[in-house]
Structure 1
Amino acid sequence: MIVTLILAAEAAFWVVLALGLITRYLLRWRTVSTVLLVGLPVIDLGLFLLTFLDLRGGATASWTHALAASYLGFSVGYGPSVVRWADARFLHRFAGGPKPPPAPGYGAERSRHEWRICGRTLVSVAITVTLISALKLFTGAPGTAVFDQWYWKLGIAAVVNTAIAASYTLWPKRPPKPGS
């Protein structure tokens, strides 16, 4: 059941995002668009609440329950940047807006860009760890030991992302030399 809910939440996220952008740029319904885009995390919150209720109802914990919790963590950590990314591309493609600038490629600007991504990852990881811990502590579900391996995966994601950001700070990528 949780896998079906995850797939439905994923589809709903992208449908609501598309509807938010369509109402903003093609229909020019700014208020409706804002409500839709601000409501995006509600989809993942609903998924988490259903996951919580599933475990409280006696379901055995599995990795899919932890994945459902990570959706809400991702939505909070990365959601605003995903909306900005989609907004800029939709504006350019369908509403005559300017072409979105690429991510910075070199030097200190690239390093700052990588640290912003790292910060989003750390927020996502912290929220996901908190939510998974809440599932373990407050549901009384059997099999929550399966969540322990999820902590390791989240930790690895945080460490790898921090190492990438640090590498761009310690060894900044330099632009190619002219004529190279």
Structure 2
Amino acid sequence: MLLGVIVACEIGFWVVLAAGLVARYPLRRPRLGAALLVCVPLVDLVLLAASALDLRRGATADVTHGLAAAYLGFSVAFGHSMVRWADQRFAHRFAGGPPPVKPPRHGWARTRHEWREWGKGLLGWAIACALLGAAIVWVDDAERTRELTNWIGRLSLAIVIWLVAFPVWETIFPRRARR
């Protein structure tokens, strides 16, 4: 059931985001659009409440509980960037705004970009791990929360791989502009 809530929240995120942008640009209702965009994080609160309620009712944590925490952490860390990304494209398409900003392709600007993105990933990791740790403490039953502990390890491995594969790699071997 929690997997269904995660999917519904992901769909809800994009629906609320699209509604806010449609109201802001094609419908020319910027205040309504801003109000809808402010509601985007409420979708995350629904997921948090559903996951906590499921654990509180005595469920044994499984992959979906860890996925919910990871989704929440990375949604908080990358949510603003995703809204800005979509807003730039909508403004360009429907309001005559400038073309969307593309990430740098090479040089130190690319390296800084990779470090900045990894920093957001690190924030998402920290939030997800804090939520997982809070759930482990809240449930207070090692047998029921073993999967949450495993998720902390998986997320930690993923953030280290990301660190080495992108920002560190770009720092050591920065991409050069084609001539």
Q: TM-score, normalised by structure 2?
A: 0.93
1:161 aligns with 2:143: no
Secondary structure of the equivalent of 1:58? coil
Alignment partner, residue 143 of structure 1: 144
Contact 2:132 2:149 in 1 (8 A): no
Q: Does 1:35 align with 2:35?
A: yes
- Confirm or deny: 8 A CA contact 1:41 1:72 kept in the other structure: no
Q: Could you tell me which runs of 5 or more consecutive residues in structure 2 were left unpaired when the two chains were aligned.
A: none
Q: Equivalent residue for 2:25? A: 25
Alignment partners' CA distance in 2, 1:101 and 1:50: 36
Report the CA distance between 1:27 and its aligned residue: 1.8
Partner SS for 1:26:
coil
The residue aligned with 2:60 is 60
- The equivalent of 1:46 in structure 2 is 46
Q: Distance in 1 between matches of 2:43 and 2:11?
A: 10
Q: State the alpha-carbon separation in 1 of the partners of residues 43 and 162 from structure 2.
A: 26
Map 1:1-180 to 2 at 5 A: 1-140=1-140, 143-163=144-164, 164-177=166-179
The whole-number CA distance in structure 2 between the counterparts of 1:84 and 1:13 is: 14
Task: Give the alignment's Cα RMSD to 1 decimal.
Answer: 1.4
Are the counterparts in 1 of residues 125 and 159 from structure 2 also a CA contact under 8 Å? yes
Q: Is the 8 A contact 1:69 1:128 kept in 2?
A: yes
Moved over 3 A (4+): none
Structure 1: gaps of 5 or more residues: none
1:61 positional shift: 0.9
Maintained 8 Å contact 2:114/2:170? yes
TM-score, L = length of structure 1: 0.92
Shift of residue 140 of structure 1?
4.2
